[in-house]
Amino acid sequence: MKGHVEDRWWRKKKVDGKLVYTDTGRPVREKTDLFGKGDRYKVRYYDPDGKEKSKSFPDKELTRAKAFLTKMQHDVLSNEYVDPKAGELPFRAYTHEWRKGQSTDASTRQTVTSHLDNGIFPFLGDKSLRAVEKTETIRDWLDWMERPRSEGGRGLAASYRAVLFDMVSAILEAAWVDQRIRSNPCKTKSIKRPKPEQRKIVPWRESQVYQVKLALPAPQQVVVPLVAGLGLRQMEIFGFSPDDVDRGEMVANIQRQIRWIGNTPVFAPPKGGKTRLVPIGAGVLEEIDAHLASFEPVTVTLPWLEPGGRPVTARLLIRKPEGLQRLGARAASGMISGPEYNLAVWKPAFAAAGLNYIPRRDGMHGMRHFYASVALASGVSVKELAEYLGHHDPGYTLRIYTHLVPSSHRRAREAADEIFKPRRTGAARPENPKTA
């Protein structure tokens, strides 16, 4: 493969176009007009397309210049060539290009922007791709995310660090495909993805469900059967319409939620774009009908998916509580915002019920876990539960609720007894088996 190292400070002397030699037969060298100016050595080589490339090195670094030339020649021959200048692009600038090929959903774009601004760009944004490609850079970034703010870090939870790690890995994987870096450091054995904490779900007690329901303002009490009886997410509740109920089939069609794009509310499909049918019990339907007898649905028209999207109209079961009208810019829209609802309605209900509110356990999502625990205890399969909850994968549902799945030991023993029938009555039967 062609290529050479040029000495810009010295050249072979010529007289009348012929080289001049010393008495020992070596070419005589003379200074060039560039002597002492800038880098001394220039490596000239050719990329796989035959285009000449170059890289300069300072005085006294001839060995490094030769090593670079050898490496470039090897990379071209082995199809591993990456233009060294391609890695000079700042990580932030490349990410801007990467995002052009990602989801066009406004909510997803908003989430990606938040992740980048909060946990990625402050540390990696101004570094070059070549710098971010180094494993030590990724290690330093992981340490910075985990360190408390008091120690100059971000103090982020392991689950959020894992999300950010996956995003950076995806960006660097694209940079590798685009031949801007030689490898993705996030996939090396020496770099470990943050491991989210495995918290064991503790479902609410049935009495707690009723206590909170009675403590809520009357127009809001129906949210409890919608979560504890249908397993809806918070923003699916606020986007729920009585028209979504098929009374003949006794199912609820969960087909929309409210999302916020900045301070603008929009209608959108449920999380993951996955609509679903959920069996609705007669008691839950009675709760909805009782609510309708006292409170008229509110007809709302919102853009679909993003501001400026096609208008969609729905009769929503739950009106915006009056207390939210004085809480922030989002409240002025006339629609319900989750954080504001929690502050103005949900947490005060806990206090009114005499209950101690524990973050990450006692939010509205806690009643969704209650719904899951009741369903599993009643014999609903994990696959069916995943469909009712709108999970993307039954395996995900099983990982969350595996400790709540009723033991099948008793059923397995009875099945075996049908084949190998016991000859003695009550043989080998524990008096009070925990797994019965």
Q: What is the pLDDT of residues 147-204, one digit of tens each?
A: 999 999 999 999 999 999 999 999 999 999 888 998 999 999 999 999 987 777 888 8
Distances (CA, A) of 163 to 111, 114, 193: 11, 12, 9
pLDDT of 68 > 60? The answer is: yes
* Mean pLDDT, rounded, for 16-21: 90
Residues shown for the chain: 436
What torsion do the CA atoms of 252, 405, 357, 158 make, to the nearest 10 degrees? -100
For a pLDDT cut of 90, what percent of the chain falls above it? 61
Closest CA to 129 of 89, 164, 93: 89
Lowest mean pLDDT among 100-104, 107-111, 214-218: 100-104
pLDDT of residue 201: 81
Instruction: Quick: pLDDT tens for 254-270.
Output: 999 999 998 899 999 99
Burial bucket for residue 26 (CB in 10 Å: 0-12, 13-18, 19+): exposed
Domain ranges of the chain: 3-81, 88-187, 206-404
> pTM value?
0.72
* 27 beta partners: 21
The CA distance from 224 to 287, in Å, is: 9
Q: Are 219 and 237 in contact (CB under 8 A)?
A: no
How many C-beta atoms surround the C-beta of residue 27 within 10 A?
A: 12
Q: Give the sign of the dihedral formed by CA 199, CA 204, CA 209, CA 215.
A: negative
H/E run at residue 352: helix 347-352
CATH class of the 88-187 domain in this structure: mainly alpha
Record: fold of 206-404: hpI Integrase; Chain A (1.10.443)
Q: Kindly indicate the confidence band of residue 316, based on its pLDDT and cuts at 50, 70 and 90.
A: very high
Instruction: Quick: pLDDT tens for 117-148.
Output: 999 999 999 999 999 999 999 999 999 999 99
Please, where are the H alpha helices in 44-203?
Answer: 62-77, 91-99, 106-115, 121-124, 129-132, 135-146, 158-177
pLDDT of residue 296: 95
The CA distance from 265 to 218, in Å, is: 25
